[in-house]
Amino acid sequence: MRKLLALVAAIGMSVMLSAQAPAGPPAGKPAHAFKGKVEKVDPKTKMVTVNNESIPGWMMSMTMSYKVDKDGVLTTLKPGDQITATVYDGDFQTLYNVKVAPPAKK
């Protein structure tokens, strides 16, 4: 009986872990172009804090922390970087397809 409980707990954990790492963008949700400036990168929590421009219909301009769709992306980001990403209706926590934008020309 104890073994069965351990197995159930293990399955529960793996379901929770897989839910934490989004595999792909939410299907069928409208996408928005995201633009912002990186304020902070936290490798521990795998979050990036971004000051984003207003995205009509998705979020107003603010500074907040986001998850990214791929862990490897975090190592390419540093404070001050301008980034672009794709975000989706109903998902206000995850940045997909993050790219560092080339510095603005003057």
Q: Which residues are at the interface with Cu ion (CB under 5 A)?
A: 59, 62, 64
Q: For residues 62 and 101, which CB has a smaller minimum distance to Cu ion in the complex?
A: 62
Q: Is residue 80 classed as helix, strand or coil in its secondary structure?
A: coil
Smallest gap, in angstroms, from Cβ of residue 1 to Cu ion? 46
Interatomic CA distance for residues 48 and 87, integer angstroms:
14
Interatomic CA distance for residues 91 and 23, integer angstroms:
13
Q: For residues 69 and 91, which CB has a smaller minimum distance to Cu ion in the complex?
A: 91
Is 101 in contact with 84 (CB distance < 8 Å)?
yes
Interatomic CA distance for residues 94 and 105, integer angstroms:
29
Q: For residues 33 and 62, which CB has a smaller minimum distance to Cu ion in the complex?
A: 62
Q: For residues 64 and 77, which CB has a smaller minimum distance to Cu ion in the complex?
A: 64
Smallest gap, in angstroms, from Cβ of residue 59 to Cu ion? 5
Smallest gap, in angstroms, from Cβ of residue 39 to Cu ion? 13
Closest CA to 68 of 22, 104, 28: 22
Smallest gap, in angstroms, from Cβ of residue 62 to Cu ion? 5
